[in-house]
Amino acid sequence: MYGMVNRAIKDYLITRYGNTLWETVLQHSQATEESFLSMSQYPDELTVSLLVEAAKATDQDIEKTLQDVGEFWVEFALNSNYGALLRATGNTIREVLENLDNLHSRLVSAFPELTPPSFWCSDTRHPNTRQPDSEYLEALELHYFSQREGLSNFVIGLVSGIAKMCNEDCRVTLLRNRKDLTDHDTFLVEYSTSNQ
Ligand code: HEM
């Protein structure tokens, strides 16, 4: 993956846990000081090794680590050169989720070797939808296609990060894993806008 992703993991660890923990993770992973150039490509195994060592050092399971890094990614991207692009993707969680392919397509000029994921949204007949006593007022199904495996929890964190960016509350649940004989992951995203 592009070094920008490794950089986000590094920033996440330093911001949340400090430099000492970061140095330990760096030492035990396959990464070196040179693995963080945003516009360079590195093997996915290097990124995986950073995540595995991060999970060990923070005493969390890999799923929780992926989720936390996903949530952090949105904050990180907002503060990067691509913050304006991300903001322009939409004002509501639904708008942003519906425009994710557009966002990654626009990034191809900056990251020519990008292997982007693909997302689409569909309506859901989830029982909570439109029930007056539901904590969440809206719901959609998010479909995630990827050439990479094992990133479901990263997506769960990313969606939470998007909700924060849009000042909305959300709950994300994995409905169908692509291991369950489908070619993609499907998430239920329940959400409501705080100023509704
Ligand atoms: C301006 C904001 C963003 C930038 C600059 C960006 C950039 C990138 C980059 C460089 C990669 C690595 C892919 C590769 O090296 O081949 C990536 C992967 C990914 N991005 Fe984005 N991204 C942004 C926003 C988002 C958002 C908001 C989501 C929300 C769902 C998202 C979902 C993902 C996922 C799931 C992957 C993993 C790749 C895979 O499944 O194969 N990205 N992105």
- Judge if the beta carbon of residue 166 lies within 6 A of ligand 1: no
pLDDT digits (tens, 9 = 90+) for 128-156: 555 555 688 889 999 999 999 999 999 99
The domain made up of 91-193 is a member of CATH 3.90.1520.10: yes
Selected residue with higher pLDDT from 21 and 178:
21
Residues 70/158, Cβ–Cβ less than 8 Å = yes
- Judge if the beta carbon of residue 42 lies within 6 A of ligand 1: no
pLDDT digits (tens, 9 = 90+) for 24-55: 999 999 999 999 998 999 999 999 999 999 99
Half-sphere exposure of 4 (CA within 13 A, CB side): 16
CA distances for 94 relative to 41, 137, 166, 187, angstroms? 31, 13, 10, 13
Looking at the chain, which residues constitute the CATH 3.90.1520.10 domain(s)? 91-193
* CA 147 to ligand 1: nearest atom: 41
What pLDDT sits at residue 14? 98
Burial of 136 (0-12, 13-18, 19+ CB in 10 A): middle
What pLDDT sits at residue 69? 98
Give dist(CA 127, CA 129) in Å, integer: 5
Residues 158/74, Cβ–Cβ less than 8 Å = yes
- Structure-block tokens of residue 149: 């495996």
Percent of the chain with pLDDT over 90: 86
Give dist(CA 89, CA 87) in Å, integer: 5
Residue nearest ligand 1's atom 3 by CA: 77
Measured in angstroms, how far is the CA atom of residue 130 from the centroid of ligand 1?
31
- Judge if the beta carbon of residue 175 lies within 6 A of ligand 1: no
Measured in angstroms, how far is the CA atom of residue 60 from the centroid of ligand 1?
23
- Judge if the beta carbon of residue 6 lies within 6 A of ligand 1: no
Measured in angstroms, how far is the CA atom of residue 107 from the centroid of ligand 1?
9
- Judge if the beta carbon of residue 54 lies within 6 A of ligand 1: no
Give dist(CA 109, CA 119) in Å, integer: 20
- Count helices and strands in the chain by DSSP H and E runs: 8, 4
What pLDDT sits at residue 35? 93
Residues 139/124, Cβ–Cβ less than 8 Å = yes
